[in-house]
Amino acid sequence: MESTALVSRLSSALPQDLDIKAYYLSSEPTSTNALFSPLPGDTEEHTTGESHFLAISSPGHDDVKEVLVFAIEILIFTRDNLTTLFVSKADSSGFSSRLKASKGFPSVVSTIISAFVDYLLEPRLNRSRVVLSLFARSQNQYLFPGSIENPGKHVLDDRQLIKWWCRVLDPVLRLHSDSSDPPFKSSAHLVVPGCDRGETKAFFPPSSRRDSTSSPKWINSYPVELLVADASRPPRHLVPRFPDDPKSRFLDDLDGEFVDNQGNWRSIKTLDHFWEMMSYRQECSAGRLVGFLWLVFSPGQTIHAALATLDPLNKEGSATTSENNVPLPTPGNSQAQDHGEEKIGEIPSADVGNEINKLVSPPSSSPGPVPQELPSLFKSAIGASNNHSTSHTRNKVEEHILQAHSKQSSATQGQLVLNPSQYQTLMDHLLQIDFAGEEKAAESTMSWIGKALELTGTSTFGLRIRGERVLVQPDEPETANATPINMLTSVRKKRKADKTDENLTDPKTVDSNSASSAMLLSAGMVRKKPKG
């Protein structure tokens, strides 16, 4: 499928005359493991998962060969009242200097990330509460083997990386804010294990200093009540388990030690204690910091409501057990747009009764609680139902939800859509090729593209994108209180104080786009030559 919406979005965000090629693929939505562990005796809440992968290349011309310069993977988990986007990996190959943007524009990579995240986020905002989650951990390479050997690859340290992510995602946060129409409540939450509130605040983007102290956009906290329906549960059931995530590994280790019949660990009893102990984990210590970031968007609200109030009938658990779920594929395990008035999962009111009978068909003599995997429309329509539905009926309900989630995801599906097995094969192939040096990188680029065509049986892959945005020079110099740069809606001239951070180009690993800046000595380092 030609992803024209993504092409249009990237073209309008990127600087004029910039020429790139985008390779966008996604996996088919499938049932996957629930993000939050159910209480002992309960079954998992039905969750649908899909993977989205965007790779950017510098097109070949004349004697110059095409080379992949950047890639990002985002996993999407969908349940009835919460959609979670998890930034799994992002990496550069060391050749971003090939992307020659006009002077004065924000970095190409940061612009692409912001636009791609918003492309996946926007169609889902009217369906449910949406959370964007990631962890920032500095590492030499994530997706391009051998790329650390390329001199153009600049790896951010831990503090720089956390700040960079906050700056890149801040425009997305503010694009869907209290002033938008329809109204959204949006907030960003950052936890850096080992850092206190004051230290964590130093990672917030500069725009946070202009926010109201009574209603800040950036908060040093884990937004538990915005993510789970019952925040009084043991901490084991309040923290999501993402693929290749430091939190998930800690959760698994704690589970291996002891879990009682109420879901409690022996050693950790509260969320605060959990985050405190995270700071002692090897991934969060050893002289480097790891930042955990959540952006939360609540549609149709000007204040955040606890998740439980959005769907009072929602309870943890579903008729789908983990035995039927498939872990979402991700490279190496190292880490719908609304059209017209149609709503996902919605059916004409006259047909509600017939649909419910087809999906549930309980014995009329034995009413019980509503099956939790039913969409909210059905829950409110039937109130109570039988909890002893047959396996066949449960499968029909699960199939119905999967179809609804698939319809929702179709608005943002990739140019190539692979099944989970094909997707994993293609990602494994990427991790087995070599990007050390431009010649090898060009060969590996062609190898990866060829593998995608082989797996899908298609003849073409790749979207040519040419930037259209013109740099707007303001009539007057910007003041200290000027509106910050929004890479999704407008481009303004940056203040000199912002240039250093804006030139950082990659979340986990960063290419240097320009020659090294001149280093200035502080006054304390300048000494006068003694007389005589």
Measured CA to CA, the distance from residue 182 to residue 421 in angstroms comes to 39
Question: 447: burial class by Cβ within 10 Å (0-12, 13-18, 19+)?
Answer: middle
| Percent of the residues in the chain that have a pLDDT greater than 90, as a whole number | 55
Over the stretch 130-166, which tens digit does the pLDDT of each residue have?
A: 999 999 998 888 899 999 999 999 889 999 999 999 9
Confidence of residue 471 (pLDDT cuts 50, 70, 90): confident
Measured CA to CA, the distance from residue 127 to residue 343 in angstroms comes to 8
Residue (of 304, 267, 254, 270) closest to 131 by Cα position: 304
Whether 321 shows a pLDDT value over 90: the answer reads no
Please give the full DSSP string across 390-411, using - where no structure is assigned.
-HHHHHHHHHHHHHHHHHHHGG
Given 80, 118, 158, 245, which residue is catalytic?
245
What is the mean predicted confidence (pLDDT) over 364-382?
36
Confidence of residue 403 (pLDDT cuts 50, 70, 90): low
**Three-state secondary-structure class, residue 160:** helix
Helix (H) or strand (E) holding 68: strand 67-78
Whether 120 shows a pLDDT value over 70: the answer reads yes
**Three-state secondary-structure class, residue 382:** helix
The mean-pLDDT minimum among 287-291, 340-344, 399-403 falls in: 340-344
Measured CA to CA, the distance from residue 326 to residue 96 in angstroms comes to 35
Q: Residue 411: what pLDDT? A: 81
Residue (of 389, 264, 248) closest to 328 by Cα position: 248
Measured CA to CA, the distance from residue 503 to residue 359 in angstroms comes to 54
Measured CA to CA, the distance from residue 176 to residue 169 in angstroms comes to 12
Residue (of 190, 64, 94) closest to 135 by Cα position: 190
| Percent of the residues in the chain that have a pLDDT greater than 70, as a whole number | 70
Residue (of 18, 481, 87) closest to 294 by Cα position: 87
What is the mean predicted confidence (pLDDT) over 29-57?
95
Residue (of 100, 105, 73, 101) closest to 87 by Cα position: 73
Q: Residue 404: what pLDDT? A: 56
What region does 326 belong to: left with phi over 0, alpha with psi -120 to 50, or beta? beta
Q: Residue 250: what pLDDT? A: 95
Q: Residue 372: what pLDDT? A: 37
The answer to whether 272 is a known catalytic residue is: no
Whether 1 shows a pLDDT value over 90: the answer reads no
Q: Yes or no: say if 103 and 120 are a contact pair by the CB < 8 Å rule.
A: no
